[in-house]
Structure 1
Amino acid sequence: MSRLARIADRLAVGSRAHARRLGSRTAAWCARSRRDDLTGWKAKLGIIARLALLAFGVYLLARIVRAVPHLMWLLTGWWVLASWRAGKPAGTASEKAPEEASAAPDVEAVRTLLLTLMGTGHGVHLRTVLAHLQEHGQWEGRTVTDLRLHLGRLGVPCDRSVKVGRTPTWGVRRRDLEAPSPVAAEEASTSPSTAA
């Protein structure tokens, strides 16, 4: 592959990744405005307001670019730079993978966080957990689906009909967290006292 083709490939891959990241951040920002204490269309008013604000922002940006066409060069430069950074070669990502895997929190730390977010309730929505993580500078650009899959890999059961504030959606129940983890149950079954 020629040098020019490598550059074009990196920009194309980075542009797709950057567009996905912007889309997921925008979706997460809109989803955080959903009210858990209301039901029906009233719970979605915050999402509708944020979508209207985004539409107005896009309209305003289009009007500004029409009035000042040279601004398009600045926006294009910003997009190309962001795409170049997002399209890093796969070699650097695979080198960092073992470090990230070792830095992943253990199951008990995740259970503690989920129980803390539940408070006195019987469950917590995954969007609440994701919003909490993003407020603390973690899981930026990720979605509820990413979080659900990650919790599944850790052995934390998720359910699509967890009801918090009369709104059922993806979440984790307290009773599932307080049950012994599969690792703890396996260790208990192979302990010397039970083996004798």
Structure 2
Amino acid sequence: MSRLAPAAARLTTGSHTVVRRLAARAAAWCARGHRADLTGWRAALGVLARLAVLGVGLYVIARIVRALPALMWLLTAGWLAAAWRAGRPPEQTAEERQDEAATEAPVLPDREAVVTLLLEVMGDAPAVHLRTVLAHLQERGQWEGRTVSDLRAALAAVGVPHERGVKVGRVPTWGVRRRDLEAPSPAAAPEASTAPSTAA
């Protein structure tokens, strides 16, 4: 049993990772169905429709598997392969750590690039929740395994204001408002304050 323990641990870790990724992608896909130009229950119709599509899809898959039980072998093999890849332990060599640090360096771009991203995710809405921004990034293969707290720290590092009680669709949580992004950056404030003294 001890010889199989590392393989079992890798499959367990990988399975958890696969579940989190699938759940994050499904949540992001459903969240994109929210209509920012509507309010109340009408704004959530797109989300409910996408949830219904997911439910019907799972039901159809279950019916197919019941009709063709042999497909379980194929599905199980696919799941084990995905879990094995996702559960691969990180390499520990110094060179790979340096390469990883080099590739992770651009994860925090300058403030202008962050503001551009936030406005893109925000669309025509006056605000956007950080969980929506995080789902947008993870859907594109970025920030895997990160949380809203990590995103808050990244925004603070580049000077992007964000607050807890931002409402989108009447739901308050951590988010960013358009008016704060369009305001002058804090770095420009000291220059503006010294302008009268230099003129004098």
Distance 1:187 1:13 in 2: 51
Report SS of the residue matched to 2:18. helix
- Is 1:99 aligned with 2:102? yes
Matching residue of 2:67: 67
Tell whether the 8 Å contact from 2:24 to 2:135 is kept in structure 1 after alignment: no
Q: Deviations over 1:15-35 (max 9, x none)?
A: 001100100100010000000
What is the CA distance between 1:92 and its match in structure 2?
Answer: 6.0
What does residue 181 of structure 1 align with?
A: 186
Distance 2:23 2:56 in 1: 17
Residue 81 of structure 2 corresponds to residue 81 of structure 1: yes
Counterpart amino acid of 2:175? G
Q: Distance in 2 between matches of 1:99 and 1:188?
A: 36
Seen in structure 2, the aligned counterparts of structure 1 residues 67 and 158 have a Cα distance that, compared at 3 Å, is same
1:139 to 2:142 alignment: yes
> Which string of whole-angstrom CA distances, capped at 9 and with x for unpartnered residues, describes residues 63-114 of structure 1?
1101000000111111111111111203369825412331222233213443
Question: Does the C-alpha gap of structure 1 residues 27 and 131 become closer, same or farther in structure 2, counting only changes over 3 Å?
Answer: closer
Seq. identity, %: 55
CA RMSD of aligned residues (A): 3.8
TM-score relative to the length of structure 2? 0.72
1:7 maps to which residue?
A: 7
1:45 aligns with 2:45: yes
Alignment-derived partner of residue 26 in structure 1 = 26
Gaps in structure 2 of 5+ consecutive residues: none
TM-score normalised by length of structure 1: 0.73
Query: Is the CA contact 2:25–2:138 (under 8 Å) kept in the aligned structure 1?
Result: no
Which of 143, 151, 154 is the aligned partner of 2:155?
151
Residues 9 and 47 from structure 1, CA distance in 2 versus in 1: closer, same or farther, beyond 3 angstroms?
Answer: same
Q: How many residues align?
A: 187
Whole-angstrom distance in 1 between the partners of 2:145 and 2:45: 23
Runs of 5+ in structure 1 lacking a partner?
none
Residue 110 in structure 1 maps to residue 114 in structure 2: yes
